[in-house]
A and B are shown apart, each in its own frame.
Chain A
Amino acid sequence: MKRNRFLKTTVARIAALFAAAFVLGSALLLGAVYYAASRIIDRDIETLIVEEGNELSQQFVRLDKDAFVGLVRLRVSEFGARDGVYAFIGPGDRMLAGNLSEWPRTAARRSGWIEFDFRPQRARERELHVVRARTYELGHGYRLLVGHDVAEKRALKTVIGASLMWSVGGMLLFAGAAGWWLGRRMVKQLERVVDAVHRIRAGDLSRRLPLHGPGSEIDLLAAEFNSLLERVEQLTLAMRAVLDSTAHDLRGPLSRLRQTLERASTVPAVETERRAILESALAETDRLQAMLDSLLRIALAESGNVSMTDVDLMAVAGNVADLYEPAAEESGLVLDRRLQPVPRVQGNRQLLAQAVANLLDNAIKFSPRGASIGIDLAPQDGEVRLTVADRGPGIPAGDQRRVLERGVRLENAHDMPGSGLGLTLVAAVARLHSASIELADNRPGLKVTVSFPAAAALA
């Protein structure tokens, strides 16, 4: 199973492919070398043979038969040990001189080139040698063979064959080893990744893929995947928390609604009383609906599936401040605006306006009479920073993160109207716009800062 998996890995395939390519390449190269070298050897040998053959043929004409036999014997004794091959036969194919035991069977009747196997008489050599030779028809049944043992060529063939074998073997060994090592490494890394993915799929969203140090492609992929997981975990936790707290918060209005309707159905009330009961039931359904609307908006912002345009945040903040200013003044509050022109950001005007509205709404709800609420907009460090600061009870440092990430309502806020999802929506809208959100102590009060990446968003 494991072996099988290795053989199927890309690395194993690449190693095999490379080994094959190297083998083929070196075979071609060595083949070319062999061909060229053997051509040179052949030419040298042939020149030698032709010179010797012509010389002897001329001597045959000049000398008488016995003297020629002596000459051939002399040549055999002189060159026989140095790869020279001679044969001189007379009528009836009688061997008259030479170091061949018999006239080679393949030799043609007439003059010409032949190649034949030959076993030298030297005792130790048992294998056949190849001889390249030329035969001469001398007339009157006399024939001469002058040849040369092509052992050199054979040796060359052997050497080249051996180098080919060694290089092929080495190549295969090297490719195999490297492939095996790389493949095993990769398979091991992948096995760890697959293992982690299995656990994540089983529900352990906090698990991350293992990294093995910088640079490896799998690591790059794993790092990307980890940041994806980070986001998925964040979203899942956020949604889970919103769902939890919403289910919890829906109970309140639902049970009040139920009680109200129950009373309306059992108490024989007078008309005006019945109307009051129904109106309070309607108010509860409105509250339920508002809560669900907020949840839908949060889901929308979280989904990122929103059309974005160039938005002038100063106009948005100014308009929403216009909208809330009279209400603030009615509550005895001063709306202190410090809105500066800022670069446009990519955004959704409706959601941004609702986020600003939620911030002002909270600020108005929680501020004591006579206080001032600050709304600031300014470019800062390449960002566009929107701040809403109130003088309310603030949020304890320990709860600040919690309020953003979850749809929680703090204890002291439970008697306030609203869905309790206001800040959650602000956080979701901020995330949609790649903006960061920060809650701080306004000493006293709450200061919410949303920082939009202005230049980056427009680039």
Chain B
Amino acid sequence: MRVLVVEDDQKASDYLANALRESGHTVEQVADGLDGLHLARHERFDVLIVDRMLPRLDGLTLIRSLREHQVATPVLILSALDQVDDRVKGLRAGGDDYLTKPYHFVELLARIEALSRRERAEPGATRLEVGDLALDLVARRVTRADRRIELTAREFQLLEFLMRNAGQVVTRTMILEGVWDYHFDPQTNVIDVHISRLRQAIDRGFPRPLLHTVRGAGYVLREEE
């Protein structure tokens, strides 16, 4: 993946760039908003990581100008501001996701990977499939190997979220945001319990599990080779 990091804190930017390179991504770094806008408009990136406070051109204005110039590259906003309304402002300006500093790198990685995939996903799909697991969004039916699986409404939503991000690591906060639309850290293992219940429902009795735990990061739904 080709990633543009627009961050004026040099140390933070270097740390982020190195970690991204170690994860196998190509990274460009710029330290101010105008350079960021210029580069993002004239070169192709899969994801932009934009700090909210930038010299010369602040992050939100940068994103707004990009969108005005029809550049649709997904943007992850980084911000030290964690006020409930800041997230809304960030997303309204055209950002695709919002992450508060200090963040866990795995969280950031999971989010930009989800963002880069979002572009390729078909939004109009009525049927999602991972291996022999199928989810019918219209009939609200889940089957695995043609066997009907009964899920609660909440479990259905959770599975839909995981299937839309199939093959990607999703973190607990991503799940809380995606399924419940809550932006706080629940601190306890509430999400883990939901996952383990879902796992019971879809994986029990099948030789190859689909729902995997990624240590220190979150979960991933995929067919293991």
B190: CB under 8 A from chain A?
Answer: yes
The stretch of A92-100, A209-217, A351-359, A438-446 that contacts the partner chain? A351-359
Q: In the complex, which residues of chain B have a beta carbon less than 8 angstroms from the beta carbon of A324?
A: 190
Q: Name the interface size band of chain A.
A: 20 to 34
Interface residues in B97-135 by Cβ distance below 8 A to A read 102
In the bound complex, CA of A388 to CA of B61 (Å): 44
The 5 A-B residue pairs whose C-beta atoms are closest, nearest first, are: A326-B193, A327-B190, A354-B184, A350-B84, A327-B193
Q: Interface 1/0s, chain B 174-210, versus A by CB < 8 A? A: 0010001011111111100110010000000000000
Q: Is A326 within 8 A of B190, CB to CB?
A: yes
Q: Which residue of the partner chain A has the closest CB to B89? A: A307
- Give the complex CA separation of A159 and B62 in angstroms: 88
- State whether the Cβ of B154 lies closer than 8 Å to any Cβ in chain A: yes
Q: Which of B83, B154, B180 contacts A300 (CB 8 A)?
A: B83
Cβ of B185 and Cβ of A326 under 8 Å apart? no
Looking at the assembled complex, report how far the CB atom of B183 sits from the nearest CB atom of chain A, in whole angstroms.
Answer: 6
Can you list, as one digit per residue, whether each of A177-220 has a CB less than 8 Å from chain B (1) or not (0)? 00000000000000000000000000000000000000000000
**Chain A residues with CB under 8 A of B189:** 327, 330
* Selected interface stretch from A64-72, A108-116, A258-266, A289-297: A289-297
Chain A window 119-137, contacts with chain B (Cβ cutoff 8 Å), 1 for yes, 0 for no: 0000000000000000000
A322 lies within 8 A of chain B by Cβ: yes
A418 within 8 A of B: yes
B183 touches A323 (CB 8 A): no
Please tell me if A42 contacts chain B, counting CB pairs below 8 Å: no
Q: Which residue of B lies closest to A354 (CB)?
A: B184
Q: Do A350 and B184 form a contact, CB below 8 Å, given A296-B82, A306-B85, A327-B193?
A: yes
With a CB–CB cut-off of 8 A, which chain A residues contact B88?
A: 307
Scan B145-184; emit 1 where CB is below 8 A from any A CB, else 0. Answer: 0000000001000000000000000000000100010111
A167 within 8 A of B: no
**B84 contact from A290, A322, A330, A348, Cβ within 8 A:** A348
**Shortest Cβ distance from B99 into chain A, in angstroms?**
13
- Complex interface: chain B residues within 8 A of A365 (CB): 188
Residue A375 interfacial (CB < 8 Å): no
Query: What string of 1s and 0s marks CB contacts (under 8 Å) between A317-359 and chain B?
Result: 0011011101101100000000000000000101101100100
Q: Please, which residues of chain A bring their CB within 8 A of the CB of B154?
A: 322
- A292 smallest CB distance to B (angstroms): 9
Tell whether, in the assembled complex, residue A290 and residue B190 are in contact, meaning their CB atoms are under 8 Å apart: no
Does A46 reach chain B (CB closer than 8 Å)? Answer: no
B185 and A290 contacting across the interface, CB-CB below 8 Å: yes
* A351 to B, closest residue via Cβ: B84
The answer on a CB contact under 8 Å between A361 and B102 is no
A417 close to B (CB within 8 Å): yes
Residue numbers in A under 8 Å from B186 (CB-CB)? 323, 357, 361
Give me 21 A-to-B residue pairs in the complex whose CB atoms sit less than 8 angstroms apart, sorted by A's number.
A289-B102, A293-B82, A296-B83, A300-B83, A300-B84, A319-B180, A319-B182, A322-B154, A323-B176, A323-B180, A327-B193, A329-B193, A330-B193, A350-B183, A351-B84, A354-B184, A361-B186, A361-B188, A417-B187, A418-B187, A419-B187
| Alpha-carbon separation in the docked complex, A319 to B102 (Å) | 28
Q: Are A361 and B187 in contact (CB under 8 A)?
A: yes
B residues lining the A interface (CB < 8 Å): 82-85, 88, 102, 154, 176, 180, 182-190, 193-194, 197
A45 to B50, CA, bound (A): 104
Complex Cα distance, B83 from A307, in Å, reads 10
B85–A307 contact, CB under 8 A? yes
Q: Which residues of A contact B183 (CB under 8 A)?
A: 350
Residues of chain A from 404 to 431 with CB closer than 8 A to chain B in the complex: 417-419
Report how far A323 CA is from B181 CA in the complex, Å: 11
In the complex, which residue of chain B has the Cβ closest to the Cβ of A324?
Answer: B190
Task: List, in ascending order, chain A residues with CB within 8 A of B190's CB.
Answer: 323-324, 326-327
Partner pick for A326 among B83, B102, B184, B197, CB 8 A cutoff = B197
Nearest CB of B to A374, in Å: 19
**Roughly how many angstroms separate A114 CA and B190 CA in the complex, as a whole number?**
116
Residue pair A297, B184 in contact (C-beta under 8 Å): yes
Q: Which residues of chain A are within 8 angstroms of B85 by Cβ–Cβ distance? A: 306-307
Q: How far is the CB of A344 from chain B (nearest CB, A)?
A: 18
Q: How far is the CB of B189 from chain A (nearest CB, A)?
A: 6
Q: Is the CB of A353 within 8 A of B102?
A: no
- A389 CB within 8 Å of chain B: no
A314 within 8 A of partner (CB): no
CB distance from B27 to the nearest CB of A (A): 24
- The answer to whether the Cβ of A85 comes within 8 Å of any Cβ in the partner chain is no
CA distance A192 to B197 in the complex (A): 68
Which residues does chain A contribute within 8 Å of B197, judged by CB atoms? 326
Contact between A417 and B188, CB atoms less than 8 A apart: yes
Instruction: Tell me if A76 is interfacial: C-beta within 8 Å of chain B.
Output: no
A364 within 8 A of B: yes
